[in-house]
Structure 1
Amino acid sequence: MTTLDFVLRERGPVPQHTLIWLHGLGADGYDFAPLVDALELPSDLGLRVVLPHAPVRPVTINGGASMRAWYDFRSLEFGRGEATEDIEDSIGLIHELLAAERAALPAGGKLLLGGFSQGGVMTLAAGLRAEPRPDALVVLSAYLWNGLPEAERAPPVFQAHGEQDPVIPLAAGAAAHRQLLDAGVDTQWHTYPMAHAVCPEEIADLTRWLLQVLSA
């Protein structure tokens, strides 16, 4: 197992909390680096944002081309077309990063895990199985892979999805939300008139949610 390389962004001179953010298929850690400024969180909150690069691997649905991906998609059948061995490998890498960042936090500091698209899928897959658990999860334009493990100990979750998403349909995200709700997870669900993307209204809602989580 290799260690994930990452991009680092920090707001404030002394980090108090850490957000690990997982990018989508074919992107890299730089893709969401602008998120740090877009969130408009106060600098004295001391947020450290770690944006890891997924491993490079061939992706079947993209003609076998090699790119950064948390797992191979052999077909666009959610829950069936993913390469399970890749997901398990990526979970191990993400858990390693979570443990390192947790150990570096000051007393009372909170550790959050989030991601977009394939990164959001991995946020649920890794975040719900991590020990110790993250303090909160952010899942944008994603779905739940392989069920809901140990949901009774799940952290709060922010979920958002585009109503016209042609890549991961709104129904897939909504189904994940229903499973989390049915399991008693504290989750917020937001939809926006957009495709497979992120919009300013979504960032504003996420900012408000993060301020509540980090100040609790």
Structure 2
Amino acid sequence: MKTSSKLQFALKPLALLCLTFFITIFTIFLSSPSQSTAGSNSMASRTFILWLHGLGDSGPANEPIKTAFTSPRFANTRWSFPSAPFQPVTCNRGAVMRSWFDFHVIPVTANCSVDESSLLKAVQHVHSMIDKELAAGTDPKNVFICGLSQGGALTLASTLLYPKTLGGGAVFSGWVPFNSTSSIIEQITPEAKMTPILWSHGTADQTVLFEAGQVAPPFLQGLGVNCEFKVSLNLSHLKISSN
């Protein structure tokens, strides 16, 4: 979707993103004993994958990602590609674009600050979508939150702040949107700490620097959260195009 800003963050070539996404999600599926076998149609065994896009992007623009998942394991899967609201973004000089929450600088470093109130508002929105899915009968351990860039940061916060153990969270080129002094840490429940996190980050990322991803595993493990970090050598981030 086009925005009124001069800068728009678009996805890398879809094939490359799909490959990385497939490897990460399939790894989670293989490690999750609660997954259903092919042919199961019950709500309890249905898988729910929630994909959170990056800054300036939209949910519908990311829907082609699911076409890469033809394995029988994904036969009973519901996908959701929500769009962030339009709001001013400080790092883009106040330009109005689709953004989950406000943050202050690009490139994102290991110490990037975000507006915590807007982050928590976005987390509540994600949680409402998960709550609706669970109310329909889906097992929490069959729920997976995935996100790219800003959506990856929101994925992490949403996963850690959800009061139940979920199937997993997958962060692509994201960052930890809070620090060791944040009140968010006190809200992480023992159940949430049991949700596995898989993180993929490119060493050539110049938008969300590799260092921003690299500090995540030790930080999260210090909180008691299991995080597996996958390095993509020479992989950059997103293309910036004029609009």
TM-score by length of 1: 0.76
Bigger Rg, which one: 2
Counterpart of 1:52?
82
Q: Flag the 1:187–1:75 CA change in 2: closer, same or farther, 3 A.
A: closer
Structure 1: gaps of 5 or more residues: 1-10, 198-216
Q: CA deviation at 1:185?
A: 2.8
2:166 is the alignment partner of 1:134: yes
Counterpart of 1:75?
105
Report the number of matched residues: 188
Please tell me the residue identity of whatever aligns with 1:178.
Answer: P
Q: CA deviation at 1:151?
A: 6.8
Q: Is the 8 A contact 1:163 1:170 kept in 2?
A: yes
2:219 is the alignment partner of 1:187: no
RMSD after superposition: 2.7
Q: Percent identity?
A: 28
Structure 2: gaps of 5 or more residues: 1-37, 239-243
Partners of 1:109 and 1:184 lie apart in 2 by 19
Structure number with the bigger relative contact order (C-alpha 8 A, sep ≥ 6) is 2
Cα deviation code 1:67-113 (max 9, x no counterpart):
11011223346555422221121111111111011222345861111
Q: Flag the 1:59–1:44 CA change in 2: closer, same or farther, 3 A.
A: closer
Q: How does 1:50-199 map to 2 (within 5 A)?
A: 50-76=80-106, 79=111, 81-106=113-138, 110-147=142-179, 149=185, 150=188, 152-153=190-191, 154=193, 155-192=195-232, 193-197=234-238
TM-score by length of 2: 0.68
Q: Flag the 1:159–1:175 CA change in 2: closer, same or farther, 3 A.
A: same
Q: Is the 8 A contact 1:166 1:195 kept in 2?
A: yes
Please tell me the residue identity of whatever aligns with 2:225.
Answer: V
Residue 24 of structure 1 is aligned with which of 36, 42, 54? 54
Q: CA deviation at 1:39?
A: 3.4
